Chain A
Amino acid sequence: MKKKLALEIICALFILLFAYAAIMKLLDVQKFTVQIGKSPLLESYANLVAWAIPSIELIIAGMLVWGRFRLTGLYASFTLMSMFTIYIIAILQFSEKIPCSCGGILEDMGWTEHLFFNIGFVLLSVVGIVIYYSEEEKDTLAPA
């Protein structure tokens, strides 16, 4: 029962994170596009990425709401968050002066804080997946 609650909290955190980040970006897509254009990794694809990232974030948030897609959503969260984390490591190879464009209050974090924040969420998604499987096992083992 406790585990189930933990899973709900993890999913809610991800939904909150992705929905917030996506909406902040979509509210001012033009600004987000310009900011992405400053990134040496993304400058050539700024227009595509500016729409793709918030869209993917919203889709994943949606998947985490419904039970059927929840596992896929957790894997997708893991993939996206680990991608952001690796992106930060890659971007720091260029310069520390490149601004973050995550949207809203998330922009106020420094690069190091951001790195730990992301790693935290990566681990959280793994925990979520582990709980999901153990709950599933319990369900199938339970007498009909």
Chain B
Amino acid sequence: MKRKPIVILLSCLIFSTLLVAVLYALSDKAIPERNSFVRNYQPDMVTKSNELDVGYNSYYVAGLVNDNIYLGNAKVPLHLLVTNIQLTDTQHVRLDIRDLENIQVTKVMSLKVDSPYFYLADGLMPGLFRGKIGNWQAERYMYDNAYFNQSIPVGDSSFAIRTKSAVNMEYELGMINNDSPFVKIQYNLLEKQIKGTFCVDGQLNFSKSFNRLVYTYRYRNEYIVFDTDLSLDYRGQTIDTFSVAQIDIEKINSENSRNLKSRPKIINAQSCVSGEWLFIHSALLAKNDNIDALDKFAIIDVYDLKSNSYKLSFQIPNQNGARITQFKIFKNKVLAAIYDRYLVLFDLESQYLNRPDVLTNKK
């Protein structure tokens, strides 16, 4: 081959690289900014205890019962992985549903394990199933004709849900019960700011021991605390000041679908509850955070649900180069987190969560 084509090829390569490089340089890389609030860090709040490579990144924490951790799998809804809390003994289980051949399990089916039952909830089918831990055969056990996109078993035969209302086509919180009228939607809990469903997106949690449901908004500094009759206790505020969702929405006409434009401002990435405490994985930097903190740690802010106040924060470092994808806290003692294909357990110093005491950093 002559020299000329090599020169042309190289020039072409340099041209295309330069073009993308210019685009990259001009793009807004959303360098995180420090905000005006200050976090009250408790450095020895968490200690890593164990780690397990579960082989796939599609596992999620479904429950902890009697020192066994149960992992569901988002890609294989009827597969379950059990491990003891030392993470030394694992067991794969195939879940069964009675009359499975007549059921169309969808990819949104989710698993929750809570003594003495395990629950399978599918909001697209829709279907709600329950079975005994150890027996691993589930069956329909209550009214389940309502569609939903988030769900949590509450008590004996109810499910708290987030659903797209047929009335206004927006997300609402509700409850499925086993007696008439079966489905109750509470229209005043989620407060819309922009048309569509994105601005009220968030995560629904239930604290069994505190007997309260908590919905934490993803794009604004608020969480909603309400009881199992769907009556509002209060709206709590996270420590930042982003009270209005900062998102741009565009519509695809042919699909009549609404889409988020690039990188919406996430405030509360994830949340979970344990007892009277709300744990929020925040996506914001505080005044006393290092500028690269979000690249190295997950920052968890802890709120006291009983007194509606901020308590403390702690950092959990990224593991094996991966960011945290999901976490759950059990009995204020064990933090179980998924990092890509690793399950990592941390011990929580629950004495910091004692009450009453002087709140050092109340907002």
B8 cross-chain contacts in A, Cβ below 8 A: 75
B26 cross-chain contacts in A, Cβ below 8 A: 44
Are the CB atoms of A34 and B250 closer together than 8 Å?
yes
Within 8 A of A (CB), among B244-276: 250-255, 259-263
Are the CB atoms of A133 and B2 closer together than 8 Å?
yes
B252 cross-chain contacts in A, Cβ below 8 A: 28, 30-31, 34-35
The answer to whether A40 and B254 touch (CB under 8 A), given A83-B19, A90-B20, A129-B5, is no
Are the CB atoms of B261 and A43 closer together than 8 Å?
yes
Are the CB atoms of A82 and B5 closer together than 8 Å?
no
Q: Write the nearest CB–CB distance from A46 to chain B, whole angstroms.
A: 9
In whole angstroms, what is the CA distance A75 to B261 when docked? 34
B13 cross-chain contacts in A, Cβ below 8 A: 78-79, 82
Are the CB atoms of A75 and B263 closer together than 8 Å?
no
The answer to whether A79 and B15 touch (CB under 8 A), given A30-B254, A90-B23, is yes
Contact of B262 among A40, A126, A133 (CB under 8 A): A40
Q: Write the nearest CB–CB distance from B299 to chain A, whole angstroms.
A: 18
The answer to whether A129 and B253 touch (CB under 8 A), given A38-B262, A40-B28, is no
A40 cross-chain contacts in B, Cβ below 8 A: 27-30, 262-263
Contact of A82 among B16, B21, B24, B250 (CB under 8 A): B16
Max count, chain B CB within 10 A of own CB: residue among A37, A42, A134: A37
The answer to whether A34 and B251 touch (CB under 8 A), given A78-B12, A79-B16, A133-B1, is yes
A130 within 8 A of B: yes
A41 within 8 A of B: yes
User: Of all chain B residues, which has the CB nearest A72?
Assistant: B8
In whole angstroms, what is the CA distance A134 to B250 when docked? 51
A39 within 8 A of B: yes
Interface flags, B1-42, vs A, CB<8A=1, else 0: 110010011001101110111011011111000000000000
Q: Write the nearest CB–CB distance from B201 to chain A, whole angstroms.
A: 14
Using a CB–CB cutoff of 8 Å, the interface residues on chain B facing chain A are: 1-2, 5, 8-9, 12-13, 15-17, 19-21, 23-24, 26-30, 250-255, 259-263
Using a CB–CB cutoff of 8 Å, the interface residues on chain A facing chain B are: 28, 30-31, 34-35, 37-44, 75, 78-80, 82-83, 86-87, 90, 93-95, 98, 126, 129-130, 133-134
